[in-house]
Each structure stands twice: as C-alpha cells, then as structure tokens.
Structure 1
C-alpha cells in the first residue's frame, strides 16, 4: 500500500496529511475537495488507500465510500473527519470504510490507522468514557451485524450455508478476490477468527 488519494475540502488539512504520509514513505498521487471528483480520480489513478472526509461537496464521504464499494473498489478507505459521533463511525463502517479517525486528535492516530489497514485490520476507535482512558463499548451480536454492508451481509449468508468463495463470486457476479475481501472485512467487524466461530455466530443469530 503505497499510493494514496486524499479527499478533503481544506487545503491545509490535505497538506498536513501529505506531510505525515511522506514520513512513512507513502506517495500522494492525487488530491481533491470534491466527492464526485474523488470517484472519478479513484478509477483514473487507482490508489491503494483513500483518505476521505465526510463533509465534502457534491457527494459526501459516506456516499463516496458507498459508491466505490458498490462498484468493486477493494483498496483501503480511511475516514478522517471532525464528525466523531458514534453514529458516523457505525455508518462509515457499514458502507465499507476500513478505518475512522477524528481530526480532533490532531492527526495523531493517522499512522496507527494506516498500519492497521495495511495489516488487514479495521481501525474504529469507540467512545472514550474518560479523557485519558479508552473504555471500549461492548458490542452485542446485533450491533456487530449492523456494521456489515449489504454485500458483506450477503457473503455472510452464503458462507453460513457452506457455499465456497468461488461459487459465491459466480452467484454475486463479482471476482473471488472481491468476495475474499468482503469475507475478511465481515470477519473483522464480527470479531471472528475462524470459520468455526463464524458458523457458531450464524447459527446463534439464525443467519443460515
């Protein structure tokens, strides 16, 4: 993961992000303040990571993510925004974002978030109950399922019925690589580490 597209309507923010990315040998191959242009640049430049704000013109960041994932983009997507309410975290995760960090933290989490995404993990810090101590909010099964996108939920139903990745790709008319990406993301969101755990989860929640 080397090539990055930055989508933010504040030039100063884009410059700050670019400087931080260059510190870890990542290359900014494109910048824009507009959501619709971000979609066009993604297909034109093929970035491996997109860093996107929510409040941007024409298409907001959530709509950008939804459109890109819906059209098969499988690269990393990190939301960097001033809107850090739990509602936005969950919404971004549900449409296919790989991570979510707040501008209120002065971009201090950027490197950690990128490292997590590069390693195949999601990065979604939850609310902090105290100023200096992170207290994760336990999620029940229903909460975790709500984090899944429509495509991820469809893949989950297929996996629960024992359908192989290659057969799911034919059924959904997408590549098996894309199915594997959805599978990886849904496993992360559901906090599952094996197919046995996935099977138990689907049986427990009548998802088969």
Structure 2
C-alpha cells in the first residue's frame, strides 16, 4: 500500500517521496522474499534507485526492515480502529467482530504490502528489531480484546471457550492466510465471507436442541 507523505509543499517533498518509495519497495520485497532473502540491491531495483542511495535515508538494512515491520502493524491497527469507529452504536458485538475479520483480511491480503511483510516475517526478524512492532501488536490485540469482551458480556461467545485463547486462535488463522492465499485460488471477497462464517460459528453459543423422546 503506498504510504503518502504528510509533507505538502516544502523543500523536503522530493526527499520524503523518495523515502516513501524505498519503504514501499522494501515492503514488497520483504513480503515475498522474507527477512533472510531481502537484499538492499533488490529493494533498490524495485524502487528504481542505486543501492547506495538507500543509505541516505536508512542507516542499514536492519533499520529499513524495522521501519517496514513497524509500519505494517501500525497501519493495520489504524485501519481496524477506523473501521470500528465508523460502525453504528447499535451493531451487535458479534457483528463488530465480523467487521474486524474483514478489516484484517482486506488489509493483509489486498491493501498493504506492509501488513503482509509484517505478518509473514514477525517470527523471523531478530528480537532487537521488534520493540516498536511489539508495542503496536499489543495495541492491536487490545482492540480485539475489547471486541471479545463485549461479545462475552452479551452472551455471544460460547461459555466453553476461553476468550483470550479463542482470540489468539482466530488471529493466528487470519494471519496464516498470508502464507497460502493467492488471488488465483479465490477472491478476497470469498476469503472474507468464508472466514466470517468460520469465526462466527466457532465462537457463537451452540443452539440447544430438544432430545428425541424414547419410544416405548
């Protein structure tokens, strides 16, 4: 997803655009080749720059990757929060979770190379590069925790589930789609619809049915 500069008319506009181009290119390369396979020469080629030019904007390969990883989860969090804030107050907690499922998948699969890069490489990058990313992950998880808590309070989560564990399982499944989904296999719309059905009926209380009467 292109990251638009907040700078408008100033002497830094060209510099900001170039920095954004480098980040966009790094996100695309990282989302495909992973942490170990990402080389500055590949990023430079994607950004249509000479590799040494990257060092004007980022001190090292690690600094560039750290920024991409942070932007990925930060953008995802802001995208989800905006979607939740736009919902009507009377929408049920479970329907809010369905909106969160759609927001996560659309941003991850369709809108943002940054999100895919961050999700796919979260377990690969060194711990020293994770500080800002982990803070954003915690903030993102808090949004989901609030959604789950509201659903529990309204009796919309089955009582044999541990809500935090269920949340972790849901997010794990959503994140994993970045590893196997391909647009030739199915559309994002189909992916979202299937995920919503899967999550809704995994979390919702099981309807009680009357036992059949014994024949005498």
Q: TM-score range by the shorter chain?
A: under 0.3
What is the TM-score normalised by the length of structure 2?
A: 0.26
Bigger fraction of residues in strand:
1
Larger relative contact order, structure 1 or 2 (CA cutoff 8 Å, min sep 6) = 2
Bigger fraction of residues in helix:
2
Rg comparison, structure with higher value: 2
